[in-house]
Homo-oligomer: A and B are copies of this chain.
């Protein structure tokens, strides 16, 4: 099948000659065709079939200029990849555009006179030449990339600092989940598309679909709640207290500076099962308080409300039943907009009568504790509405349980809390920080940091016999917490260590690699977190600098004279104090020092 080496070499020579001839021909005809030039759309189409942008990995000014030049007069039916690119480029804001790099335009943007050009011919013949060459030798590396590298839009790498922050936060949260006996589950990152269909209302357009490559039709998970419901229904599980920490995916327009990404972590705790009213619901609130206390993120309030009360309130105010949900989502805007604006939207956009809106306005301004629930139970209108009474009784019971849990002073019964999602059926809640967070010299408002509620009908949507498994749960807004801590790190308000190394094995003189390696092995085998330089003869200064930069507290320093006497030096990096320690007592000595350091650290941070 393959040519012999000799015939191949001959073919390559011939093909090379052809390419050179074409290139010469091109050069000589170059000046002749300056007029009436246009973009080579078939080539651009071909290019954009493989690359996201004109310059490859990254959007650049080339894209913007080309889009402006092209206008909308493109046969999008014929040029599907250009269509994708054209609409995608339109999604960039002026600010984003101002940040784009100015890269030099690639070959593909050269204008041509007509369809087939000498450039294309050259390209085709070069391709043949390369194909021939590739038969000659085994395939080399794909070759260096020409373009700026990036992660996909709306995503980011987590570097070691960010991972330290992330792992620290999650560890504290998981400790609380475990204290409450929660089990851990995980689900695939993608689900059959049908599992997600019809669960998110309008937001379904933000779901990431996988390409149909033959086989099942798949989408990336959008949250952790629907996979939980699918898991419970599929395995016929009736009771579960679980936590799930994982990434979810939304094709939203990311506002990454405010901690909103297309790939982001969710951190959920849910209790599934048929139990007595408000007992698991109250525990969810207790869990939130323990987490926010552990994270020491500032003072907060936990707002609670009840979907049945909202329904009853709307009914009592004269809102038609078919407008409950849409009115609810308007009320949900009260945390960001003043009542006047919300009222206008109700009347003009949702078609609520001004009277009804005003009556709603009276209620949603109310917040308080048990006394408010009691007062509303005697309210002329609400007391006649079954749903409202049920909701109020639920809230009363919840508040009672919260005070048994000792968290009553952190709970606020707030009639303006509505929450956006459709699937809630009972209590709803949201934790809000009550003070701005100080980052550097600036105050930053963070807002909602956890939220959830009861959803008793979601699991039944997956069960062939409509069997319901009532659920209540809470989602901790870890991305907001991460971004606050990352901002504090950037402002120099906090520091993080990215490794936990306690001991660095260094040498003052040359030719100590072997001795260093033996000591490292000894320390590793004793469970001591140890590092050394990977260089044969590293400089002493560089080794000490590495310790300082990475917060490594202790260094073992080897020297010829000490080793002859059977001792090594142990250096405290902070105090620079050095002590001689017998070589055969080194592990023991270091363990004592590390224990003392961690006690000191505990006291220091307390």
Of A372-380, A388-396, A517-525, the stretch lying at the interface with chain B is: A517-525
Residues of B within 8 A of A167 (CB): 184
For A167, A192, A466, A518, the residue with the greatest tally of chain B CB atoms inside 10 Å of its CB is A192
Indicate if A29 sits at the interface (CB-CB under 8 A): no
With A145-B194, A192-B52, A404-B518 already in contact, the answer to whether A151 and B324 are too (CB < 8 A) is: no
The residue in chain B whose Cβ has the minimal distance to the Cβ of A534 is: B275
Indicate if A17 sits at the interface (CB-CB under 8 A): no
Indicate if A34 sits at the interface (CB-CB under 8 A): no
The residue in chain B whose Cβ has the minimal distance to the Cβ of A282 is: B517
The reply to whether B263 and A189 contact each other, CB–CB distance below 8 Å, is yes
Indicate if A257 sits at the interface (CB-CB under 8 A): no
30 A–B contacts, CB within 8 A, in A order: A52-B217, A57-B195, A84-B215, A87-B214, A145-B461, A145-B464, A146-B464, A151-B187, A152-B188, A152-B192, A152-B216, A153-B216, A155-B188, A157-B185, A163-B183, A166-B186, A179-B524, A179-B530, A180-B531, A184-B498, A209-B211, A209-B213, A273-B534, A276-B513, A279-B513, A286-B521, A404-B518, A405-B517, A405-B520, A405-B521
**Partner of A183 from B87, B263, B498 at Cβ < 8 Å:** B498
The reply to whether B144 and A463 contact each other, CB–CB distance below 8 Å, is yes
Residues of B within 8 A of A304 (CB): none
Residues of B within 8 A of A513 (CB): 276, 279
**Partner of A194 from B56, B151, B498 at Cβ < 8 Å:** B56
Report the Cα distance A520→B201, complex, angstroms. Answer: 39
A residues 152-173 in Cβ contact with B at 8 Å: 152-153, 155-160, 163-164, 166-167
Indicate if A499 sits at the interface (CB-CB under 8 A): yes
The reply to whether A457 and B141 contact each other, CB–CB distance below 8 Å, is yes
**Partner of A499 from B182, B290, B322, B536 at Cβ < 8 Å:** B182
Residues of B within 8 A of A53 (CB): 216
Residues of B within 8 A of A498 (CB): 183-184
Report the Cα distance A326→B135, complex, angstroms. Answer: 13
For A91, A199, A212, A534, the residue with the greatest tally of chain B CB atoms inside 10 Å of its CB is A534
For A141, A198, A463, the residue with the greatest tally of chain B CB atoms inside 10 Å of its CB is A141
For A142, A149, A461, the residue with the greatest tally of chain B CB atoms inside 10 Å of its CB is A149
The reply to whether B144 and A160 contact each other, CB–CB distance below 8 Å, is no
Residues of B within 8 A of A218 (CB): 152
Indicate if A271 sits at the interface (CB-CB under 8 A): yes
The reply to whether A183 and B160 contact each other, CB–CB distance below 8 Å, is yes
A residues 458-476 in Cβ contact with B at 8 Å: 458, 460-466
**Partner of A211 from B51, B182, B212 at Cβ < 8 Å:** B212
Of A65-73, A226-234, A566-574, the stretch lying at the interface with chain B is: A226-234
- Of the four ranges (under 10, 10 to 19, 20 to 34, 35 or more), the interface on chain A belongs to 35 or more
User: A478: shortest Cβ distance to chain B, in Å?
Assistant: 13
The reply to whether A529 and B145 contact each other, CB–CB distance below 8 Å, is no
Report the Cα distance A422→B142, complex, angstroms. Answer: 12
Report the Cα distance A230→B283, complex, angstroms. Answer: 44
User: A412: shortest Cβ distance to chain B, in Å?
Assistant: 19
User: A511: shortest Cβ distance to chain B, in Å?
Assistant: 12
Residues of B within 8 A of A181 (CB): 499-501, 529-531
Report the Cα distance A217→B208, complex, angstroms. Answer: 12
**Partner of A157 from B144, B186, B190 at Cβ < 8 Å:** B186
Residues of B within 8 A of A88 (CB): 214-216
Report the Cα distance A195→B51, complex, angstroms. Answer: 10
Residues of B within 8 A of A235 (CB): 157, 159
The residue in chain B whose Cβ has the minimal distance to the Cβ of A516 is: B404
Indicate if A247 sits at the interface (CB-CB under 8 A): yes
Residues of B within 8 A of A454 (CB): none
The residue in chain B whose Cβ has the minimal distance to the Cβ of A239 is: B534
Indicate if A127 sits at the interface (CB-CB under 8 A): no
User: A328: shortest Cβ distance to chain B, in Å?
Assistant: 10
Residues of B within 8 A of A138 (CB): 321-326
For A143, A231, A404, the residue with the greatest tally of chain B CB atoms inside 10 Å of its CB is A404
Report the Cα distance A150→B190, complex, angstroms. Answer: 12
The reply to whether A460 and B534 contact each other, CB–CB distance below 8 Å, is no
Bitwise interface map of A from 357 to 386 toward B, beta carbon under 8 Å scored 1, else 0: 000000000000000000000000000000
The reply to whether B524 and A188 contact each other, CB–CB distance below 8 Å, is no
Report the Cα distance A275→B147, complex, angstroms. Answer: 28
Indicate if A406 sits at the interface (CB-CB under 8 A): yes
Residues of B within 8 A of A518 (CB): 404
Indicate if A426 sits at the interface (CB-CB under 8 A): no
The reply to whether A528 and B179 contact each other, CB–CB distance below 8 Å, is yes
Indicate if A191 sits at the interface (CB-CB under 8 A): yes
Report the Cα distance A273→B149, complex, angstroms. Answer: 20
